[in-house]
């Protein structure tokens, strides 16, 4: 017996990336593979239109630069507090 649509689409559309209705195995198996891929493409387009896509969040900002007082460090017994 060939794998069901749920099993076939899992590598293409991980569970954590799906909308709630696509987390129901029976619902997903009501589609054939091509229909499920079209559903995914349509859903991603709608998410982008609504401004909820990954591109909205952008990059994280850089953490602030920390400065430490100058100290000696011999890498064994005397270590700088910045370590």
- The pTM of the full predicted model, rounded to 2 decimals, is 0.57
Q: Is 71 exposed, middle or buried (0-12, 13-18, 19+ CB in 10 A)?
A: exposed
CA distance 4 to 63: 46
11 in a domain, yes or no?
yes
> How large is the average pLDDT for residues 22-44?
94
Model pLDDT, residue 48: 83
DSSP 8-state code for residue 36: H
Q: How many domains is the chain partitioned into structurally? A: 1
Domain, as residue range, for 10:
5-57
Model pLDDT, residue 6: 94
72 in a domain, yes or no?
no
> How large is the average pLDDT for residues 44-71?
74
Q: Is 31 exposed, middle or buried (0-12, 13-18, 19+ CB in 10 A)?
A: middle
């Amino acid at each position: 017996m060939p794998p069901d649509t749920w099993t076939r689409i899992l590598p293409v559309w991980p569970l954590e990336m799906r909308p709630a209705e696509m987390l129901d195995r029976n619902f997903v198996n009501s589609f054939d593979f091509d229909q499920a891929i079209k559903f995914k493409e349509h859903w991603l387009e709608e998410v982008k239109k609504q401004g909820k896509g990954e591109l909205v969040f952008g990059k994280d900002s850089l953490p602030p630069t920390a400065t430490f007082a100058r100290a000696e460090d011999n890498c064994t017994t005397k270590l700088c507090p910045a370590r």
